[in-house]
Amino acid sequence: MSGAETKHPKNPAAIKARAEELLARYKPLISDWDTFLDVLVRPKPTCIVANAPRVSRERLSELLSADSPTLTPVPWDSQALRVPNDARPGTWWAFLAGLYQVQEEASLLPTALLDPQPGERILDLCAAPGGKAARIAMAVGRDGTVIANEKEPRRLSAVRDKMKRLGLVNLTSTVHDGGDYPLEAGVFDRVLVDAPCTSEGTKFRQGAGYQGSAPAFLSWIAGQQAALLRRAAELVKPGGRVVYATCSFAPEENEAVVDRVLAELDGMLVPTAVRPPGLPPSAPIGSWGGRTFDQGVQAGIRLWPHTHGTGGFFAIALDKPADAPAPTTEATRHADPWSGAPATWISPVLEKFDLAGDPLAGLQVIERGDDLQLVAETHSAPARPAPVSTGVPARRARNRTPKPSTSLALMVGQHARRRVVEVTAEQRDAYQRRQAIQPSDTQLAACRNDAHLSDGIDPTGAIEQGFVLLRYRGIPLGAGFLRPGPPAEIESQYPRAWKL
């Protein structure tokens, strides 16, 4: 068998028996086999990761106290919170408002080892569904660049969705075989290889029946993984870092791949022990199938369900020596037809909202199809492979009535002083279901005409029809269209694809 999936039987005992049969070859590696099997088939706590540019973990926990009073910090990740097993954080209002993303705890490990820094240029060679690329983009900030590559074009839709909801103006997606990613893309400060794998560490807990992997399939996929790691070594700059990771238990996909590539590259990558504070240590495997691995492989980390309470995972950091030869290929940069500064194109959308400060500082606008996209000024996308998507949509280029996109509203809404409506929890939920809401006169105080008294807005001024921004507890939710009435009504402009 080659790794096909079927649905698990519902009976937990049957699931456990199936796991014991298919994973029996790992029994010599695991001292507490029964506990391993018990924990393997249980649901694992989901994590949510705060969108750090918008909200801290502490503020996020406070905002979500009504949805889930039992959020607990992940001790080894400063932005992550564990949520209960039965929670559905992808349906909570704050998720729809772009305050966090959902990840399984084990998948936090590769980014922790990568350790992205502000301003860096980083490549995620196998990015879909985009959680790690999004996390990297949050870390490098507007002065950094993240390239999220994926071999299968259809899988990029999840990456694009995260870009828009989280406001990732520093991210470009590309489609290419990562094992042959063009060197013309230029060098990167860091490269993540979260390699396609048999996914043994996650299949059972997700309820999809892992059917085992024949030796021929394991050999084939290990070859793909080695190709990805070799290309990452070529793309990373001297002094840079590569992280290799899988969600498999198989030594053939983990230690053996790293051992093989280290031997082939002969010093081009050096294993580096990185231990996130608070994460219980767990050493990689030293030998398997009569083969002893390079001692450097011990710099990696294995996560086991019964010791870490997560899915199974392997990750290792590999640094390129600072005195390694620099790449000889000249980088080519993508040159979109820049359409001008945000003030030129976006001002007609935002002028009525009286924004405090300059929330679009450091951004520029490109025209992509029918959309005007906001992109960081310092963004460094490659010419090859050609970008599929870059930045976030701000408005339609040819709309007769300038309308802010939801992405734009989420980015600037907290800075608005006019044409902004603070909603109740009930109104918030209705808005995110794309239902109209009926605001009170008090809620519409900032939506009256431009006549001002010395101490604020004229409370007797007429209410103007048009777009407004909605906030809940100061958090932007998106845009609506206000009709003065009476009675006044706000038509939800929340995206159909995102609605509750």
- Report which residue type is found at 455: D
| DSSP helix/strand/coil, 236 | strand
Catalytic residue among 47, 197, 247, 447: 247
Three-point CA angle 247, 300, 293, nearest 5°? 100
pLDDT (0 to 100) of residue 200: 87
Q: Is 150 annotated as a binding residue?
A: yes
* Cβ(463)–Cβ(444) below 8 Å: yes
Residue 32: how many CB atoms within 10 A of its CB? Answer: 12
> 367 Cβ partners below 8 Å, 6+ apart?
337, 339, 373, 397
Q: Output the six-digit token pair for 278.
A: 């608070």
Residue 20: how many CB atoms within 10 A of its CB? Answer: 16
Q: Is 130 annotated as a binding residue?
A: yes
Q: Is 47 annotated as a binding residue?
A: no
- Beta strands 188-194 and 121-124: pairing type? parallel
pLDDT (0 to 100) of residue 2: 38
- Beta strands 145-150 and 371-376: pairing type? unpaired
Q: Is 177 annotated as a binding residue?
A: yes
Task: Give catalytic status of residue 447 as yes or no.
Answer: no
Helices and strands per DSSP (H, E), number in the chain: 14, 27
Q: Is 309 annotated as a binding residue?
A: no
pLDDT (0 to 100) of residue 6: 40
Q: How far apart are CA 117 and CA 472, in angstroms?
A: 32
pLDDT (0 to 100) of residue 343: 63
In the numeric block, the tokens 């905002």 are attached to: 63
Q: Output the six-digit token pair for 296.
A: 């450097």
pLDDT (0 to 100) of residue 340: 65
Q: Is 128 annotated as a binding residue?
A: yes
Q: How far apart are CA 261 and CA 433, in angstroms?
A: 50
Q: Is 450 annotated as a binding residue?
A: no
Q: Is 21 annotated as a binding residue?
A: no
- Report which residue type is found at 21: E
Nearest residue to 222 via CA among 200, 243, 195: 195
Q: Is 127 annotated as a binding residue?
A: yes
Query: Which mean pLDDT values do the consecutive 10-residue runs of the chain (500 residues) have?
Result: 42 79 91 90 85 96 87 94 90 96 94 97 96 96 96 92 96 96 95 93 63 80 96 97 96 97 95 93 92 96 92 96 82 63 76 91 84 91 92 79 89 95 97 97 88 47 90 97 93 90
* Cβ(190)–Cβ(238) below 8 Å: no
pLDDT (0 to 100) of residue 49: 97
Q: How far apart are CA 417 and CA 289, in angstroms?
A: 66
Left, alpha or beta for 141 (phi > 0: left; psi -120 to 50: alpha)?
A: left
Q: Is 132 annotated as a binding residue?
A: yes
pLDDT (0 to 100) of residue 438: 97
pLDDT (0 to 100) of residue 4: 40
